[in-house]
Structure 1
Amino acid sequence: MTRTFQGYWLTRRHINYGLSEEKYYQKNPSVIYSGSFNLEKVTSLKLKICVLGYYIIKINGRLASNTALNNDWTYFSKRKYYDEYDITGLIHIGENIIEVELGNGMYNPFPLKFFGKHNFRHGLKDVGEPKFVLDLLDLEGNVIFTSNSAWHLMTGDRIFNNLFLGEEVDSSFEGKRLSYKTVKLTEKEQQTLVKSFIPKIREFEPIYFVKMSKKGENLVIDFGKTTSGFLKLNFECTKNKKVQIFYCETKENGKLAYETSFAGGIGNIPGITGGPGSPEKAFEKDVIYAKKGINNFKNKFTYHSFRYIEIENLSIDEIKSLFAIPVHTDLSQTGLVKTNNTFLNNLFDAGINTRLNNVHSVYEDCARERLQYGGDIVALITAMSDIFDLSQFNRKVIDDFLLGQTDRGGIPETAPYMGIQTNGTGDGEGPLLWQIVFPYLIYKYYQYYADQKFVADRYPYVRKQYDYLMSWDLSTLAQKDIGDHASPKLTNFYEATPDKTFVGYCTILLFNELTIKISNISGKEINKLLEENIKIRKTIDQLYKNEDGTYGQKSQTAYAFALFLNLGNKNILLKGLEKRIKEENNIFNCGIFGQSILYTILHKENRDDIVYKWLTNSGEISFRHMLSNGNQVLKEQFTDGKLSDSGNHAMFASYLKWYFEALGGISLTENAVGFSKILVNPYFNDELTTVQTSINTIQGKINTETILRKNNWHYYLSLPNKIEYTLGENLKSFNMTIKKLDNRINLHFSQK
C-alpha cells in the first residue's frame, strides 16, 4: 500500500483533565513544534501536512499561507483532510526552520453540556490532543524531511484556547519546553487521508469601529455591523495588567445582549449549567495578560460573532489601533442582484452577510452552537447555490453526512454528530426533515454541477437510508420529526409546529421522490419506488385530505407542502393559501421549510405580489423589523425579546432565491443538469423600476436587466447558447428580439 505520509504523528502526552474533565477549563496552552532541515541548494519543495486541531505553519518565520483556522472539520476517525503548500519561495541554502503551532479547534473541544444535557466532547467522540504529521517533498516526490522525534516542542502564547469561549494570551510569553510523543500512522489511518479540496478559511477586509463609548469604567466599541471573525488590538500600557474583552452580537432595549451567543445556551436558563468546571455564563471572551509597553493581540484559534465589544481595564488613550477582521470560508460569490429599492438591496446583503458569518469548513447555524444542521441546509441550499460557487464545498458537506450514516442507514441531525438528535429515528439519527439533507443535497448538486459519477457513487448510501426508513411503520415514522421549524407563530421550541404529522408524511413522500430521481441519474430500477409513491400519496389523502380539497389543519405550512408535492387540486390549494396568508396580515407564518417552499411555489404560480408584500412588510414580524437594529444580519427568530435566540443566524435566508427566480426571472427547471435548462419568467412591479442580476453557472454567465422606461417594461437577457430556455407567462405578451453572438444569445423583451 502507498503511504500518504512517511512522517509520524507528533502530539502532546496525555493530559489528565480530571474525572469530569473539569480541568479542561484551566490553563491549557497552545503548543509550537519546530524542526530544522538543511539545503545545499534551493529547489522546488512541497510541504504536506495533516492536522487534527487548528494549525499555523511558518517556514523561516514566514507564514506558509494566508489562511486562518486551518483544518477541515469532519469525522476525523473516518476522514482526515491534509493540505499541501509550495514553500519554494520561503526556503534558503543552509538551515531552514519549520514551526507548527497547534490550537484545539474541534479536535480538543470543551466538555460543555449544550443546553444542560449534550456533552460536546463526549458527543463528538473523535477528540484528543491536537497533533500533526508532515512530509517535505522535492520535485520528484522524494520525502526529504518529516515529522519525527528530532523536533522540539514549546508552549505557545495562548495559555487557553477554545473555539467557543475564546483565548487567554500571555503577552510576556517566553515559552516552556515540553515533551511529546511520536506515533506511527496505522494502515487504517493512511486510508482515511484525503487531500483537502474546499476553499479555505481566510481573513477579509477589516471593519473599523464607528463608535466608542463608556459603560462605567469599561469601553464599549461598536463596529457598525455584526460579523464573525477576529479582533486585532494594539495598545500600550504603563504596567502589567489583565485586560478582558467580551463579544456581543446585538443590543436589546439599548443594552448589550450577550445571551444570544452564550455557548450551548449556558447562562440563559436559570438552573441549567454546562457541567463541572464550566463557566456560569458561557461568554465569548478573550483575556490578555498584558505587559508594560506595546501589546499586539489578534485571535489565532477562535473566532467571535460580534458587533460590539466591551473592554475591561483598558483606557481610550492606551489603544493605538483596533479593528474587526471578518473570517470565513472563502466562498466565491457567483450571483449578484441590484435593484432601485434600497431595502431589498439591504435584505439581499444581509442574507449573504449572515451566511458567510456562519461558514467555517462546514455550514454552521450560529456562534452559540457552530454545528452543521441538515435542516438549515435543506431550507437554504437553492438560494446558496444561486449565490456561491459550491462545486467543491458541497461535495465535502455531502460526505460529512455520509460519514455519519449509522449502520441502520439513518443520517445524523448534525454532521459531525455530537449527540443532538431531537425526535430522531434512533441513536445518532436526526428527525426526518433534517435527514433529508442527504438525498436533497445530492440531487441539487447534480442540478447545478452535473457530476453524474459523484451522484452514482453515493446512490448505495441514499438507497440504504431510504430502505431503512421504509422499513418503519409509516404512522410511526411520520412522528419522527420536528416539523416546519421556527414558525413566527410559535412562542417556544417545544410548541408543536404547524401540521407536524402531515409534514412528516410529506417528508416520507419527498424521500421517495428524491430516491426516484437519484436512482434515475444512477441508472437504477425505479418501478418499486413508483409503486410506493402511489401508496404514500393514497395514505396522505386518506389521513389528511379535507372534504374541501385542502389538507391537514389548513396552515400555511400544509398548503406549502401540498402544493410542493403536487397533492390534490392545485387551484383549490393555491386559493386557500392566498386566503390564509391574507388572513394572517400577509405574514409568512411557516417555518424555515415552508417559507423556502413558498418563495418557489408563489413565483411558479405568478403570485410574486404576495412574496413582495411579505418581504417589504413593516410590521413587528417582518424582515424590515429584523434589520431595524442596524446589525446588517438576520436573526434566528422574527420575534423580539428572546435572548436565547441567536442574533446572527441564516436559516430564514431562503428568500434570496426569489431574487433570482422572480426579480431576475431565472429558475432552474426540474430536469436541469448542470444549469442546462431554465424557465425565464421575471416579476414586474412598478416600485422596482430597475433590476440587474447575474449568475455565473458552469455553462457560463447569465445576465438580466429589467427597466421601466416611459411606462413600458423592458427585459434583457444574455445567456450562453448551451442553456435551453423556456418563456414563462409574464413574457408571452412581449415583443422579442434575438441576437446570437460568440456562443451567446442576447434577448430583448419589450412590452407591447
Structure 2
Amino acid sequence: MLKVQKLRVEYKENPVGLDVCHPRISWQLQSVERNVMQQSYDIQISTEPDFSTLLWTSGRVYSDQCTHVELMEPELRSRKRYYYRVKVWDRENRHTDWSEAAFWEMGLLKAEEWKAGWISAPLSLLDVEAEQCPLVRHTFHIDGTPLQARMYVTALGLYEMELNGSRVGDGYMTPGWTSYNHRLQVQTYDITGQIAAGDNAVGAWLGNGWYKGNLAWDNRKHLYGDRPALLMQIHLTFADGDEQIITTGEHWTAAAGPILMSELYHGETYDARLERSGFSRAGYDDSSWSRVELVTHPKEVLVAQENVPVRKIEEIQPVQLLKTPAGETVLDMGQNMVGWMNFTLEAPGGTQVQLLHFEVLDQEGNVYTDNLRRAKQTVTYIAKGGGPESYEPRFTFQGFRYVQLLGFGANVALQDFTGIVLHSDMEPTGSFTCSNPLLNQLQHNIRWGQKGNFVDVPTDCPQRDERLGWTGDAQMFIRTSAYLMNVAPFFTKWLKDLAADQLDHGGVPFVIPNVLGENEHSSAAWGDAAVICPWTLYQCYGDKRILEQQYPSMQGWVEYIRQQGSDEFLWNTGFHFGDWLGLDAKPDSYSGATDTDYIATAFYAYSVQLMQKTAHVLGKTEDAQRYSELYSRIVTAFNREFITPSGRLSVSTQTACVLALMFGLVEGTAKERTVGKLLKLLEESNYHLTTGFVGTPYLNLVLSEAGHTDVAYQLLLQTDYPSWLYQVTKGATTIWEHWDGMKEDGSFWSKDMNSFNHYAYGAIGDFLYRHVAGIELDEDFPGYKKFVIQPQPGGDLTWAAAELETMYGRIRSEWRTAADRLEISVSVPPNATAELYLPNAGLAQVRERDGLLGLATGVHSAEQLGDKVKLELGSGDYSFTYAVEPQL
C-alpha cells in the first residue's frame, strides 16, 4: 500500500557527471490511502548495483523530510558511480520495501584531472574571420572491450560529437551559454555501447554559438573569443582494472566542413557537396587534413552540466502550403515555435534552396520579416545530388510559424518538411483547463512562450537579433514558469551566471549572461531578479541551498541600491526601464507613465523584505534584524515621498496602485484609497489594463487579494484590445511582446520591437493557477510541504481544473458549478498537507463523497470562516459538494 518512487539526485534521474560534492536526494511516496505521512527513512549507498557491500547508510532517521536530503557522507570520488535506495516508515510504523536502486555518477572534480588540451583548427586553414565551421577528428586503438567508457566534453563555441560514425548524446547547443569567462559547462556521456575493441575514431563539428558569434543588435562578434575550440577526454575502464585515456591534443587533425556559415540569428548555410562522409569512423583517410593547433584557456572555470540539456522535444508537421498574394511559397506550421526545419529534397548537385523563417504574415498576407530586425533566420542548403537527401541545422535555431521556400520548385510536398521543436528539457509539471476555450488557448500560448524562450537561458524573444537573458522578464515570469515546468535546474544555472556577471559594487547587468557592456546594468525590477528569483525557487521547490548559494549576490544587489543617491531609504537615481511598454506611455516612449523613482523604491522595499525573509531562513539573525529595520524605514520613506497625508498616491496609474498593494507598502486608509483608486482607473478604462511589464504580472493578483476577484475576471476575460484574449482572437499561438503587436486591421505596432513570442505577459498564468484553480503556496512550508487550495470561481466559467507535480507528488484542484451547487475535487500528495477553503459554503451543507464531513478520513479539522469553510486535509483524493450560500 506504500511505495517509494521517483528517486532524484539534484532534481535529476540517474545523472551522470555531477560535480556536487554533497548531493541531495529526493523521493516521493505512493499510496492509495489517505492521510499518509512519512515518519522515518533509511538511505543506503553502495558502489555495487546489488548493494552487496554498503558504502554508507543513514540508519533509521526519524524525519518526514523526503526532499533535498543532503548527503554529507561519504566522501565522493571523481568518475565514480554511486547507487542508492530508500526505505520509508509511515506514522503507523509500516514500512515500504526498499525502493528500486537509482544512481548518480560523479564527473571530473578537479582541473588537474584534465589531461586533454584545447584544440582549434589552425589559423592557416580558417582564420578568425572565417565563417566556415571546422571539423576535427582522431583515430585511436584499444585492446579489448572496455567495461565502462565515458566521454567528457566542452567547447569554446558549440560542438557536436561523433564516435565511430554515430552521434554522441541527444543534447543540442552544447555546452550551453554561461558567463564563459567564469563558468563553462562540461557534458558527460556514457559511450560504453558505442566503443569496441580495435580501431575507433572520434570526430567533432564546431560552431560559433554564443561564444564567437553575432550577439545583440550592434552586429558585434567575438564577445568571448575568436576561435572555436574543443576539449575532450575519454576514460576507458577494463574488467581487469586497467584504464586508458584518450584526449584532445596536437595529434588531432582538422578540416573545413560543409557548414559554410552558422549564426544563431542568421541561420546556417550548408554545402552538401563538401561533406566528409565517414570522418568519425576508423579507416577514414585524413591525410589531406591539417594538424590542429593548441590554444590556451583555463580549465579552472569548468563546471559540470547544471541545467537540463536542450533537446529535440517534439515534431510538428506543417498544416498548409500557402501561395501569398505576392506569389511567395510559404509553409504554415500552425504554431509559433522555436527550433528548426528538417526537410528532404531530390535535386541535381549544386541546386541551392533556402528556407526563410518568420512569425507572421503582413496585412496583405505576404511574408513579413521587418520585426526580425537584422536577424536573417535563413537556412541555405546546396544539394549534392544523386538521390533524396535530408538536412536540418546544427548550430542555430529559429523562432517562427511560417517558412518561405525559395528554390524548391513547383512540386512542394508537405510531408517533406517537419518542424523540430527545441528547448531545455524541463519536466512538465502543470496543467490548467477550464470551460472557456479562449482561456485554454491562452494557457497554451503561455506554455509555448516558455518553450520557445527557455533555450538554455530565459530569453526575451527567440527570433530577432536579441534573444538575451533579460533579468526583468525572468523575474516577472518565474513563478508562472514554475507551475508549468520544473525550472529549478534551469534557473539554478542561470542565477550562478548572474552572480558571476554581477559587478563588484553589486549592480546587476540588464541581461545574463552579460553581453551589453559594463554600463548596461541595474534597473529597478530588472536587477531585482537577483533576489526575487532565488526566493521564488526556494518557495516552489523548498530548495534552501539556492538561497545559500545566491545570498552574497542577493545581498550585493540590495547594498548596491542602498548606496545610490543621498537617501538610503529611497531609490531616486540612475536609469530605469520603468513600466516597460505600459500603454500609458508618452508618445515615442517605451516606458509607461508610472514614475521611475516610485517603481525603484517599491522594488527596493520588496527586495529588502525578501532579504529579511532569506536571512531568517538561513539563520542569519543579525542580518534578518537589520533588513527588517531597513524595510520599515524604506516603507516609511515611501509613504512620506509618494503618499499624501490623506492617504492618496501621488502617482496616479494602475501600475502605481498595483505595486503599492502587492509589496505591502500601504496600510489602513492609504490601502483603502489605493484599492479604490485602482478600481476607478479600471472603470475609466472600461475595465482594460494600461499596465506594462512591471505592473501586469501583479494586477489580477492584487485585485483578487483585495476582494475584487470579479474585476480580475472582467480583465481576464476581455477579448478586445488591450487584453490577453485579444491576442487569442487574432490567432496568436504564443504570447506577444505588445498588447497591440498586431492591430485590428492587421497592421503592426512597430517593426523595431515587436516579438510575437515574448513570455513576460504570460505571467497571467500565475493568476490562473493561484486564484482561478486556487493552488497556492504556504510560505512557511516551502516546496508545497503544506499548501493552500482556495479556488475562486467567477466570470462565465462553469468549471476549471489544474494539476501541479510538486516535489511531493501531484496536487489537483478542480471545481464545477451546476445550478446552485458547487463540486470541488482536490488531491493532496503523500507526506504533505493542505488547507482547503470552500467558497460561499456553509459548514453544515458540505458533503465529502456523499458522506458527512466530520466522518471523512483525512479531514483533520473543519471550521466556518465568514462565507468560507476551511478544511485541514491530509493526503489523498477528495470530492466535496455543497449548495452555494447566497452572497450578501
- TM-score between the two structures when normalised by the length of structure 1: 0.90
Letter of the structure 2 residue corresponding to residue 348 of structure 1: Q
Alignment of 1:80 onto 2:151: no
Give the conservation status (yes or no) of the 8 Å contact 1:55–1:71. Answer: yes
Equivalent residue, structure 1, for 2:659: 561
Equivalent residue, structure 1, for 2:766: 657
Instruction: Evaluate the alpha carbon distance shift between residue 197 and residue 113 of structure 1 in structure 2; reply closer, same or farther with a 3 A threshold.
Output: closer
Structure 1 residues 100-179: aligned runs within 5 Å = 100-110=204-214, 114=217, 118=218, 120-121=220-221, 125-139=223-237, 142-175=243-276, 177-179=289-291
Secondary structure in structure 1 of the residue aligned to 2:627: helix
Higher CA-based Rg: 2
Alignment of 1:600 onto 2:708: no
Distance (whole Å) between structure 1 residues aligned to residue 552 and residue 310 of structure 2:
32
> What per-residue deviation string (whole Å, max 9, x for no partner) do you get for residues 628-647 of structure 1?
34341111101131232111
Distance (whole Å) between structure 2 residues aligned to residue 239 and residue 151 of structure 1:
31
Give the conservation status (yes or no) of the 8 Å contact 2:350–2:385. Answer: yes
More displaced 10-residue stretch of structure 1: 737-746 or 66-75: 737-746
Distance (whole Å) between structure 2 residues aligned to residue 39 and residue 17 of structure 1:
32
Secondary structure in structure 1 of the residue aligned to 2:145: coil
Give the conservation status (yes or no) of the 8 Å contact 1:250–1:631. Answer: no
Instruction: Evaluate the alpha carbon distance shift between residue 96 and residue 249 of structure 1 in structure 2; reply closer, same or farther with a 3 A threshold.
Output: same
Structure 1 residues 439-478: aligned runs within 5 Å = 439-473=531-565, 474=567, 477-478=572-573
- Percent sequence identity is 21
Letter of the structure 2 residue corresponding to residue 171 of structure 1: A
- For 1:283, which of 350, 372, 376 is the aligned residue? 376
Could you tell me how far 1:401 is from its partner in structure 2? 0.6
Give the conservation status (yes or no) of the 8 Å contact 1:260–1:646. Answer: no
Secondary structure in structure 1 of the residue aligned to 2:136: strand
Structure 1 residues 203-218: aligned runs within 5 Å = 203-215=312-324, 218=328
Equivalent residue, structure 2, for 1:423: none
Equivalent residue, structure 2, for 1:740: 858
Distance (whole Å) between structure 2 residues aligned to residue 459 and residue 465 of structure 1:
10
Letter of the structure 2 residue corresponding to residue 225 of structure 1: Q
Distance (whole Å) between structure 2 residues aligned to residue 371 and residue 504 of structure 1:
23
- For 1:341, which of 405, 413, 436 is the aligned residue? 436
Equivalent residue, structure 2, for 1:371: 468
- For 1:540, which of 638, 641, 657 is the aligned residue? 638
Give the conservation status (yes or no) of the 8 Å contact 1:247–1:258. Answer: no
Instruction: Evaluate the alpha carbon distance shift between residue 576 and residue 690 of structure 1 in structure 2; reply closer, same or farther with a 3 A threshold.
Output: same
Instruction: Evaluate the alpha carbon distance shift between residue 481 and residue 428 of structure 1 in structure 2; reply closer, same or farther with a 3 A threshold.
Output: closer
Equivalent residue, structure 1, for 2:174: 70
Equivalent residue, structure 2, for 1:483: 578
Distance (whole Å) between structure 2 residues aligned to residue 542 and residue 161 of structure 1:
56
Give the conservation status (yes or no) of the 8 Å contact 2:561–2:571. Answer: no
Instruction: Evaluate the alpha carbon distance shift between residue 246 and residue 201 of structure 1 in structure 2; reply closer, same or farther with a 3 A threshold.
Output: same
Distance (whole Å) between structure 1 residues aligned to residue 882 and residue 838 of structure 2:
13
Equivalent residue, structure 2, for 1:329: 424
Give the conservation status (yes or no) of the 8 Å contact 2:357–2:403. Answer: yes
> What per-residue deviation string (whole Å, max 9, x for no partner) do you get for residues 488-530 of structure 1?
3335444554232211111121221122122112222122322
Alignment of 1:236 onto 2:346: yes
Secondary structure in structure 2 of the residue aligned to 1:47: strand
Alignment of 1:681 onto 2:790: yes
Equivalent residue, structure 2, for 1:38: 141
> What per-residue deviation string (whole Å, max 9, x for no partner) do you get for residues 20-77 of structure 1?
xxx94xx621211111222222222011111121111111111112222222201111
Instruction: Evaluate the alpha carbon distance shift between residue 208 and residue 503 of structure 1 in structure 2; reply closer, same or farther with a 3 A threshold.
Output: same
Alignment of 1:643 onto 2:739: no
Give the conservation status (yes or no) of the 8 Å contact 1:550–1:559. Answer: no
Distance (whole Å) between structure 2 residues aligned to residue 317 and residue 416 of structure 1:
45
Could you tell me how far 1:243 is from its partner in structure 2? 1.8
Equivalent residue, structure 1, for 2:397: 303
Instruction: Evaluate the alpha carbon distance shift between residue 439 and residue 310 of structure 1 in structure 2; reply closer, same or farther with a 3 A threshold.
Output: same
- For 1:29, which of 132, 135, 141 is the aligned residue? 132
Instruction: Evaluate the alpha carbon distance shift between residue 130 and residue 598 of structure 1 in structure 2; reply closer, same or farther with a 3 A threshold.
Output: same
Instruction: Evaluate the alpha carbon distance shift between residue 74 and residue 260 of structure 1 in structure 2; reply closer, same or farther with a 3 A threshold.
Output: farther
- For 1:350, which of 445, 451, 473 is the aligned residue? 445
Distance (whole Å) between structure 1 residues aligned to residue 312 and residue 443 of structure 2:
22
Instruction: Evaluate the alpha carbon distance shift between residue 683 and residue 134 of structure 1 in structure 2; reply closer, same or farther with a 3 A threshold.
Output: same
Structure 1 residues 454-533: aligned runs within 5 Å = 454-473=546-565, 474=567, 477-490=572-585, 492-524=588-620, 525=622, 526-533=624-631
Letter of the structure 2 residue corresponding to residue 107 of structure 1: Y
Give the conservation status (yes or no) of the 8 Å contact 1:75–1:126. Answer: no
Distance (whole Å) between structure 2 residues aligned to residue 492 and residue 322 of structure 1:
42
Distance (whole Å) between structure 1 residues aligned to residue 877 and residue 319 of structure 2:
45
Give the conservation status (yes or no) of the 8 Å contact 1:202–1:329. Answer: yes
- For 2:724, which of 616, 623, 647 is the aligned residue? 623
Give the conservation status (yes or no) of the 8 Å contact 2:571–2:597. Answer: no
Give the conservation status (yes or no) of the 8 Å contact 2:338–2:452. Answer: yes
Letter of the structure 2 residue corresponding to residue 658 of structure 1: F
> What per-residue deviation string (whole Å, max 9, x for no partner) do you get for residues 172-231 of structure 1?
11457344212365xxx2321111032111113221112213355642111111111111
Distance (whole Å) between structure 2 residues aligned to residue 31 and residue 694 of structure 1:
47
> What per-residue deviation string (whole Å, max 9, x for no partner) do you get for residues 564-594 of structure 1?
1222233322222122112112112111221
Instruction: Evaluate the alpha carbon distance shift between residue 709 and residue 161 of structure 1 in structure 2; reply closer, same or farther with a 3 A threshold.
Output: same
Give the conservation status (yes or no) of the 8 Å contact 1:244–1:287. Answer: yes
> What per-residue deviation string (whole Å, max 9, x for no partner) do you get for residues 235-285 of structure 1?
1124633222211111231334644552xx33xxxxxxxxxxxxxxx3211
- TM-score between the two structures when normalised by the length of structure 2: 0.77
Could you tell me how far 1:554 is from its partner in structure 2? 1.8
More displaced 10-residue stretch of structure 1: 426-435 or 654-663: 426-435
Structure 1 runs not aligned, ≥5 long: 267-281, 421-425
Distance (whole Å) between structure 2 residues aligned to residue 616 and residue 507 of structure 1:
29
Distance (whole Å) between structure 1 residues aligned to residue 717 and residue 795 of structure 2:
14
Root-mean-square deviation (CA, aligned residues, Å) is 2.5
Letter of the structure 1 residue corresponding to residue 697 of structure 2: S
Determine which structure has greater relative contact order: mean sequence separation of CA pairs < 8 Å that are 6+ residues apart, divided by chain length: 1
